[in-house]
């Protein structure tokens, strides 16, 4: 057993070195030197913005952060925009206890389980259910989390392309049941990440697809219930996340997951 143990340790450390080199040069810790525009319909930050460097981070699967950039959201105060804003206001005026509970359940801010922690925990339950071995489990975790990271990069690319104002910044009568994130509204980061994670999970555990889809839908609605997103934010985020998941699965199927690190 000793030669196999020694070989395994060596392989693990070599792969660890690859990941450290990747992380050192992926741009995640780059200092953002841009500026926030101002004007009608433009998001208003509270202090330093969150994640403005993410659009330039090196993705695992995408060719660049804008590969799946959605089309622009409805123009500020256009009929489509007003309709979406009115929905948020109407929900704010009439929130049910169930809607409040859903909004708070899916908030998952830093310091909690977090969005990806939730999907990782769910993946763990499916892995245990199927009694998968360590190699299969590691494959699922790596592919799902890498896809989610790419979805976040793509999401923040769009956020800092369009700088869309948040609903409560337009209509001061919209109330919140969770804290408003300090980054632009479009698209919804929760939906981008959740749809990407679930897109990967469903490929390994198709029997859970209906449940997973329902959870992504509820997670998206939770942001509207909370008062922090428009419906079109959620829809664009889900589309982006699914697109990234499909790309990640394609790369994994044709070239293997580690091809992302080459």
pLDDT tens figures, 246-261:
999 999 999 887 677 6
Handedness of CA 68, 26, 149, 164 (dihedral sign): negative
Q: Supply the pLDDT for residue 5.
A: 76
Query: 11-20, 68-77, 98-107, 197-206: which range is least confident on average?
Result: 11-20
Give me the DSSP letters along 211-248: HHHHHHHHHHHHHHHHTS--HHHHHHHHHHHHHHHHHH
C-alpha to C-alpha distance for 156 and 162, rounded to whole angstroms = 10
C-alpha to C-alpha distance for 194 and 122, rounded to whole angstroms = 12
Residue 202's closest CA among 191, 215, 190? 215
Q: Mapping DSSP to helix (H, G, I), strand (E, B) and coil, where does residue 58 land?
A: coil
Give CB contacts under 8 A, 24+ apart, made by 94-103: 95/177, 95/225, 99/225, 100/177, 100/225, 102/218, 102/221, 102/222, 102/225, 103/177, 103/178, 103/222, 103/223, 103/225, 103/226
Residue 165's closest CA among 77, 52, 48? 77
- Percentage of residues in the chain with pLDDT exceeding 70? 98
Residue 146, preceding peptide bond in cis (omega within 30° of 0) = no
C-alpha to C-alpha distance for 190 and 106, rounded to whole angstroms = 9
DSSP assignment, residue 32? Answer: P
- Please, what is the average pLDDT of the chain? 94
The structure's pTM equals: 0.93
C-alpha to C-alpha distance for 13 and 176, rounded to whole angstroms = 47
Beta strands in 27-135 (DSSP E): none
Mean pLDDT of 194-212: 97
132 or 112: which leads in pLDDT: 132
Residue 151's closest CA among 191, 120, 119? 191
Helix segments in 2-78, DSSP class H: 2-24
Which fold is adopted by the domain 31-261?
Answer: Vanadium-containing Chloroperoxidase; domain 2 (1.10.606)
C-alpha to C-alpha distance for 231 and 158, rounded to whole angstroms = 16
List the beta bridge partners of residue 164.
42
Model confidence pLDDT, tens digit, residues 28-77 = 888 999 999 999 999 999 999 999 999 999 999 999 999 999 999 999 99
User: How many helices, marked H, and strands, marked E, lie in the chain?
Assistant: 9, 0
């Amino acid at each position: 057993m000793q030669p196999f143990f020694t070989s395994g340790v060596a392989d693990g450390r070599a792969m660890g070195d690859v990941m450290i080199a990747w992380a050192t040069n992926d741009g995640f810790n780059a200092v953002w030197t841009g500026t926030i525009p101002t004007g009608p319909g433009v998001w208003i930050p509270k202090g330093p913005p969150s994640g403005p460097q993410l659009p330039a981070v090196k993705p695992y699967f995408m060719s660049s952060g804008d590969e799946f950039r959605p089309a622009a959201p409805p123009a500020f105060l256009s009929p489509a925009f007003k309709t979406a804003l009115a929905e948020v206001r109407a929900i704010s005026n009439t929130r049910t206890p169930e809607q409040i509970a859903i909004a708070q359940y899916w908030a998952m801010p830093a310091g909690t389980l977090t969005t990806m922690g939730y999907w990782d925990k769910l993946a763990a339950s499916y892995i245990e259910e199927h009694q998968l071995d360590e190699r299969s489990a590691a494959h699922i975790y790596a592919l799902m989390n890498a896809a989610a990271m790419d979805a976040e990069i793509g999401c923040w690319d769009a956020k800092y392309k369009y700088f869309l104002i948040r609903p409560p910044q337009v209509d001061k009568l919209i109330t919140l049941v969770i804290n408003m994130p300090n980054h632009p509204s479009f698209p919804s980061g929760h939906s981008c990440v959740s749809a990407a994670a679930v897109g990967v999970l469903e490929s390994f555990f198709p029997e859970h697809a209906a449940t997973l889809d329902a959870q992504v839908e509820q997670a998206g609605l939770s942001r509207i219930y909370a008062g922090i997103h428009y419906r079109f934010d959620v829809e664009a985020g889900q589309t982006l996340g699914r697109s990234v998941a499909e790309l990640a699965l394609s790369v994994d199927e044709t070239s293997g997951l580690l091809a992302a690190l080459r």
